[in-house]
Structure 1
Amino acid sequence: MLDLMPSLKEWRPAATGQRCALATVVGAGGSVPRPLGTSMLVSEAGDVLGSLSGGCVEGAVVEAALAAMHDGGTRREFFGYSAEDAFAVGLTCGGELEIHIEPLGAAPGALRLESLRLLAGQGSASALALIRRVDAHGGGAVVIPDPASFQAEHSTELAALLGLTGLGAPAAGHLMLAAAAQLEPLLRGGRTGLVRLAPPEGCLSGAAVPPNAPTSPATVPEPVTLLVESRLPPARLLIFGANDFGAALLPAAQLLGYHVTLCDARPAFAGQSRFAGADQVVTAWPHRYLAEEAASGRIDARTVACVLTHDPKFDIPLLHTALGLDLAYVGAMGSRRSHRQRVDALLAAGVGPEDLSRLHSPIGLDLGAVTPAEVAVSITAELVASRSRSAGASMLAASLKDGAGPIHRTGPVHETGPIDNVNTAQHQETPWT
């Protein structure tokens, strides 16, 4: 749902107060175009905001949403691929989608269009989370304005969403603790995921089903299912070096959603108009600025540092500082010879081999990049690969046409050793100024 917030303010049905239904991907298998949590709004007039599959199933979802608004009930729709019926609604990519459809309403605790408009007004840079109940026996949502500090165990709104009203204190407390254990890591990490909990009646002593009685889908209650969408403020990307490569990387990094700071110690370089698009421009010695930002708590484990200065008097103290911090990524531009000299200097300065192993140098994936724009693509490609690796996917970058198996890999990481990557522009032995 949070993916629709930037466009909701300009969507005419929302502005005119039309009835709407919300369709959301709550299950995905195989190759699918959009991930869990992707949503689409459908108005009573059939207008649409958003997309769930790139066109494969939208028509059928609109019909189901209109039917849900007519009868007022939530529903689930399943879409896959039918080799027997070429004209059946489904995903030609072979994947499977489970879509939860809920009319927006005015009932207590229900998700309302007015609430969504308020969320949209907070801006995409603010922290925000939404917890929605998406099982067959519940609905509604809880808005979390500060997901990093939310205490699920003590939330009366969450208790109401889980249907704990009237439940005994021990059973309610047990379910709230179970909810907190699963919800809070997603909220604090800014992630999207499904949380399944035993239904309230499942916490009541178990007398409803005798210990050795046979069970069936009718006797096993459906778990309470919550869809969690959490958004943290944008991660920071710090570009050190006001040069052609920094100018090219700046908009490319913003395209990935980073809050970009350009830092250079030379006022005449940092003050150029081509860097005005940065979220922040700082004129300071890079290592001092980074140390001050770390001491003030303005960087975290999602922060990226790209050292493009290519000058030892800036690079060495800056990398010494950066490698001593818990950053998501530290990369430095330069040739192989520059890298070897850099490593020797950092070892002499007391940086250990384990910290040095975190340094991406030469920076970027081996794409044969030459121009500043191409090098920017190479760097951002490595950032995406690095983020995927931390999420459990392989760091190896290869053409999709040469691979096999699923496109979106979420399995365990298989280490294959360091990648020998270098951009053509960085391989030149003459330092830039």
Structure 2
Amino acid sequence: MSSLESYLRPALQPAQDALVTIIDSLQLRKDAPFSPDVPKHLLDSMPDLTGRLLLTFPWSQARPVDPSQHSVWVFDNTACRVQPSQDAKVDKHEAEPMIIANPNEPLPPPSWEVEYVAAYFSRETCRDPSHVIAHIARLVGLAREAASEEECLEELKDKLDITLIKKQLEPFLNPILPRHTIRIKIADTETQTLGPSSSSGISSDLLRLHFDAPAGTQLTTTANSDPSPCFTTPGQTILAEPTGWGLISDIDDTIKITGTLSPIAVLKSTFIETPTPVPGMPQLYADLMKLLHDPTFFYLSGSPYNLYPFLRDFRKKHFPDGTMILRDASWQNLGGLISSLSVNVQQYKVDRLEKMHTWFPQRQFVCIGDSTQKDPESYGEIARRHPGWIKAIYIRRVPDEDQIQGALNPDRNSPERFEAAFKGLDTKMWLIFDEADEVRKNIQLWTK
């Protein structure tokens, strides 16, 4: 970088950020309706992620991703059998499918349908994370409030592995990549196109696969590129029959200790500490694999999609494979992480639950969540909308860790709250639990 460029870039950055806000803000709201606004108190207290949003225009043409500059995550997903009766309810993406083995023959009838979600980033313009690390260190008490950025990093050297923190922050700092497409290879059998990505850097495409495979099979999806697909995080697809059991689980403070009630605790558990499962939950979920005869797992969380690799690694280490559904959030301030866990969560979760119902209307589901946010209300609402679809609801009662939390929301764990959330449902259908073993014993009663 020339000396003139190094001088001009910081000077012009505020102007570009202002243009991004003006041009992209309305499009972001349209493309990501569940990306929450960041309240002013969080904007003022949390570090900025300057340059996360690239300046784009609504009339920009979609372009293929560049392996030398871009990264794409293909999320794990679950395929369902093609249901012709559902055609009017979903918009299928025109993906120009091609069967690799028989490129000159007509496409066979589709056998499986699956939603592919992918996240697109620019690698070349990742911002220096030092200012964010220093800000977090001050907030969580690992550095003095008055310490400069250099002093904060110096104080952290003997306390933490800064390299790991940088790796965790990278998805929050790499600019998102709107209006791009990627050609993917599915099980070395079929290629299709994903995208274009939205203004939030996400694409969501409902595709039909034109080859068959037995239920229970896992398919791997990666980039259809030459010579190497290493710029794309592969996705795993589980093929699930229409009937059977399913399990829908929250993540934060249901199976993973996050401290959702405290912004400082969220920062610590996300960027500083080793992710820790809620005691007893890994063994419970392993037991549910047997009790519910190998159910289909969905992990529905309010966490933003930036945490996908972090949460996927956690899930693979402690819990069964399954589809992870996260919020398509994009913002210029780390306060968005806190907002994603607390703002309009019920509206978002009910919308995702409705989508799951279109995929597997004939399966019966068990829902597991916690009392920190809106799991009781979300599960209760979807159970009333679709009688018989939800077999049982289990809510972990998360205790108040300090008097402040209890004072801010004294009714969070009250019987009245849960009775209102599950109004109209059979009282035997839901259970508030403190220990994982309570869930195991309850499920054993009705699965005998």
| Category of TM-score, reference length = shorter chain | under 0.3
Q: TM-score, normalised by structure 2?
A: 0.22
Q: What TM-score do you get using the length of structure 1 for normalisation?
A: 0.23
If you compute each CA radius of gyration, which structure gives the higher value, 1 or 2? 1
Larger RCO, structure (CA 8 Å, separation 6 or more): 2
